[in-house]
Amino acid sequence: MVRRHRLCHLDALPDPGSKGFTVNGEPVFIIKQRGRVYLYRNQCPHTGIALEWVEDQFLDVSHTMIQCANHGALFIIEDGRCVAGPCSGQALTALPHEIVDGYVELLIERA
């Protein structure tokens, strides 16, 4: 069975931009770029800590990569792969989601 958790409306997200949320105690974040939405667990694969130091800031200064504020690792927005930094070759954990009536909804599977 899948449960849905509504995060926010697409219009609440800048493009390009990012926003963090906590769902059932788990930190997640959304990236919006060129009208597409990507949802990841907010956890660096290198150290396990949250990626951002400043609330809702997950992108590098060019807004073309996800960046870990702790050690500067860079991740490809579309698939979460780390391409620079100590976690090179690892990836962020992508989360299943859908856009329903203009809202981003996290899909949570339950047993």
pLDDT digit string, tens, across residues 14-44: 999 999 999 999 999 999 999 999 999 999 9
Per residue in 50-78, pLDDT (tens digit) is: 999 899 999 999 999 999 999 899 999 99
Residue 86 banded pLDDT, cuts 50, 70, 90? very high
* pLDDT attached to residue 111: 65
pTM for the full predicted model: 0.95
How many angstroms separate the Cα of 12 from the Cα of each of 30, 72, 102, 104? Answer: 11, 27, 10, 10
State the Cα–Cα distance between residues 56 and 30, nearest whole angstrom.
Answer: 9
